[in-house]
Amino acid sequence: MASVASWAEVAATLNHTFGERLTLHREARRICWTFEGQSALVEMHDERSVAARFLDKPAPDSAADDWVRAVYVPHRECYSLDARGCTRMADDLVEFFRGTREPRFRFTGAQAA
C-alpha cells in the first residue's frame, strides 16, 4: 500500500508546478486532476497499484460534428503504490499537463467531450 508520504509527494509536485490552476476531484476509488481542460483519471487497479487515463482538451470532430477528447495511457499500464511508482506517476502527470503526448503516452482513441 502507498505510504501517505508517497501520495503527499505526488500532490506536492503537482501543486508546486501548477498551483491553483490545478483542480482535484475525488470520488470513491477515483481521483481526477484537471488542468486547463486536460484531465488525468487515476483509479485503483488492485491493492498494490493504480491505473491512469489521460484526457486531452476537448476538440471538434468534424466527421461526427461533435466535440471529443483524445485518450492516452502510459506505456506501463499501472503505477505501483510505492515511492517509485508515485514518483513516476507525478512525473507523467506533470509531463501530460505540460503538453507531452507520444511517445511518452500511447493514444488509445477518443471519447465524447
Question: Minimal CA–CA distance to 4: which of 80, 79, 81?
Answer: 81
The band of 52, judged by pLDDT with boundaries at 50, 70 and 90, is very high
Query: Once rounded to an integer, what is the mean pLDDT over residues 4-25?
Result: 85
DSSP code of 62?
Answer: T
Cell of 22: 490545478
Q: What is the pLDDT of residue 64?
A: 77
- Which domain does 80 fall in, by range? 4-112
Q: What is the pLDDT of residue 1?
A: 44
CB atoms within 10 A of CB 8: 12
Q: How many structural domains comprise the chain?
A: 1
pTM over 0.75: yes
Residues 21-46 have pLDDT tens digits of: 999 999 888 999 999 999 999 999 99
Q: What is the pLDDT of residue 4?
A: 59
The band of 106, judged by pLDDT with boundaries at 50, 70 and 90, is very high
Q: Which residues contact 69 (CB under 8 A, 6 or more apart)?
A: 39, 55, 56, 57, 58, 59, 110, 111, 112, 113
Residues 64-95 have pLDDT tens digits of: 789 999 999 999 889 998 889 999 999 999 99
